[in-house]
Amino acid sequence: MHIVVINCGSSSIKADVLDHFSGRSASSMTVERIQESSPVAEIDGEPLSLASGLSGHGAVLEDALPRFLDNLPADIEISGVGHRVVHGGERFRNPVRIDDEVESAIEELCELAPLHNPANLEGIRAARSILPDIDHVAVFDTAFHATLPTRARAYALPGDLVEKGDLRRYGFHGISHGFVAQRAAEYLDTDLRDLRLITCHLGNGASVCAVEYGRSIETSMGLTPVEGLVMGTRSGDVDPGILIHLMREEGYDADDLDDLINRKSGLRGLSGITNDMRDIQQMAAEGNDRCRLAIQVFSHRLRKYIGAYASVMGGVDAIVFTAGIGENSALIRHRVAQRFQFLGAHLDEDRNREIEVNTDNPVERISTATSRTHLLVIQTDESYAIAEDTSQLVLGKDRLDDHRPIPVAVSARHIHLRQETVEKLFGEGYELTSRNPLSQPGQYAAEETVDVVGPKDRINSVRILGPPRNIDQVEIARTDEFLLGVDAPVRASGDIDNTPGILLEGPAGKVELKNGVICAWRHIHMTPEDAEHFGVDDRDVVEVAITGGDRDLVFGDVLVRVSPDFKLEMHIDTDEANAANLCPKTARGMLISTPGQAQLRRRKTTFDPVDAAAE
């Protein structure tokens, strides 16, 4: 399957025809100086003469794209068009087929990315008019970071101001971070959903991302691409007080500050010469102190972020370097990774100097063979990533044709215990007593309760669910977190590595759990027959609309769990149920049925293998 990938930058257009599986390019077109009176175009390195007087992405693409397509070999058939769109805002969490409604929504988001979204939109409109009979797909730079938890995306600003201006952290380079994370998982022969990764996209623009079990949970860029790492011409993190000082003391206005932090800072500002790391490294080797400082500050900032993200995730399985600097600068990789022994990452200096990544060899390891944490260099390819995402939607992999309703139950705070723990709390040989059966076959709410004691406060009489399991697990809601004084991650049931512990008090004793406190990832239980009926698999992630309460809600990140022992039902916690006005006042310590109904809208294709034979 061949996909046209169109990337309309602020002053350029790049178009490729790619094989969706291999990423091999059949043909490429570039157009530079789009906003000038005489744009410059090439197809596969050969000049392309454009009609005179053209200016702007839409007009240029309407002239150039048909000729680009006519130049393709006769045996190549275009199956879809993928468009890179910089900003998807709150709405777009995944790639999406483009229709008039999506076009309008992208237009509404132009104020969040005024240099890029308008250009992206012009490219979309021109391409849809030229190729109206095939699927066009928008792939958003921000979408990979849609899973950022509230604590990671919020700024410490007044709420009314934040709400009025949509002032939150969105993150960027998501297409690249998602792509290299998946390639790292393939290289390590491990499901991405079982890994903790830190991906470092280091180019003229630079960002770092914490990918925990397939989900972006932290990233260095924020509302705009200025926040975070030192970049080619962007400052990265800077004390806002400096900008206030420049306004008061130096007479800077908003445009001056914009120019300063976006175009005159970063490596260019530090070196005083250039934003090209290759030149900076050369001049540093020749004794230029400002270039040496630029390298030191760049490396220190990145190392600081990596250490912080490893702490946020409670460890890391692999650290990935990618993009121009990450793939090609052994010096930067050395300066960043040389102190990571405390993470279990030991740099192999010889491999670091010698490796080269390319299309035929896209992944290399630069850590020693005995390193617990891998250091990887991976070639990124955003066009290839867009082609893969587009192919999945062209094939309809996201579609769910069965829209029958799924019952919704509230999973209030509760505890699962091992038999050994039951006996420590209630006495030797003690067995749980069923109070009432639950909706899931074979499970019950026990008569027994225990007190949960956190660093800050306690919750008494938390009910145990039976029968005993092979792990101890305490499931709470976000409001319980604050009461107890713990920081519980969102996890699938049973995934308790790197989670906090808690004290349990029973009538016959106390047990100090070393881990096991989680906020359960909202999920749907299905039998294998249900899963086949809906067209999903175990561990798929789906988008779900919930109705039946006073407020209809859409959840975009719902986990599917499949087992012959399950009954079809969606479980949400009390906070989520309260948001939909579904929560019965009696919901304590058990699964409570509600009048709510869930309907699957689409499935996330992020974790799907790409079908080589698909057409």
3-state SS record for 39-58: CEEEECCEEECCCCCCCCHH
334: Cβ contacts below 8 Å, ≥ 6 apart? 347, 349, 352
Q: Are 464 and 424 contacting, i.e. CB atoms less than 8 angstroms apart? A: no
Q: Could you give the CA distance from residue 172 to residue 182 in angstroms, rounded to a whole number?
A: 17
Q: Report residue 202: phi and psi, to 5°.
A: -120, 95
User: Within a 10 A sphere around the Cβ of 370, how many other Cβ atoms?
Assistant: 7
Angle at 272 between CA 263 and CA 280, to 5 degrees: 100
Q: Are 22 and 614 contacting, i.e. CB atoms less than 8 angstroms apart? A: no
Sign of CA dihedral 82, 199, 88, 396: positive
Provide the 8-state DSSP code for 148: -
25: Cβ contacts below 8 Å, ≥ 6 apart? 16, 17, 18, 383
Provide the 8-state DSSP code for 601: E
Give the three-class secondary structure for 270.
Answer: helix
Q: Exposed, middle or buried by CB within 10 Å (0-12, 13-18, 19+), for 489?
A: buried
565 CA to centre of own chain? 32
Q: Could you give the CA distance from residue 102 to residue 336 in angstroms, rounded to a whole number?
A: 41
Nearest to 438 by CA among 587, 568, 597, 590: 590
Q: Are 503 and 456 contacting, i.e. CB atoms less than 8 angstroms apart? A: no
**Helices 330-337/289-313 angle, 10° precision:** 50
3-state SS record for 370-433: CCCCEEEEECCCHHHHHHHHHHHHHCCCCECCCCCCEEEEEECCEEECCHHHHHHHHCCCCCCC
**Helices 254-263/240-249 angle, 10° precision:** 130
Residue tagged 């990315």 (tokens): 113
Q: Are 346 and 371 contacting, i.e. CB atoms less than 8 angstroms apart? A: yes
442: Cβ contacts below 8 Å, ≥ 6 apart? 467, 565
Provide the 8-state DSSP code for 476: -
Strand partners, 415: 464, 474
Distances (CA, A) of 377 to 142, 306, 454, 472, 587: 23, 15, 42, 38, 50
Region for 65 from its dihedrals, namely left if φ exceeds 0, alpha if ψ lies in -120 to 50, beta otherwise: alpha
Is there a catalytic annotation at residue 141?
Answer: yes
Which pair of tokens denotes residue 66?
């048909």
The H or E element that residue 316 is part of is none
Which of 16, 63, 135, 141 does the annotation list as catalytic?
A: 141
Q: Could you give the CA distance from residue 347 to residue 319 in angstroms, rounded to a whole number?
A: 11
Q: Could you give the CA distance from residue 104 to residue 108 in angstroms, rounded to a whole number?
A: 6
Residues with catalytic roles: 141
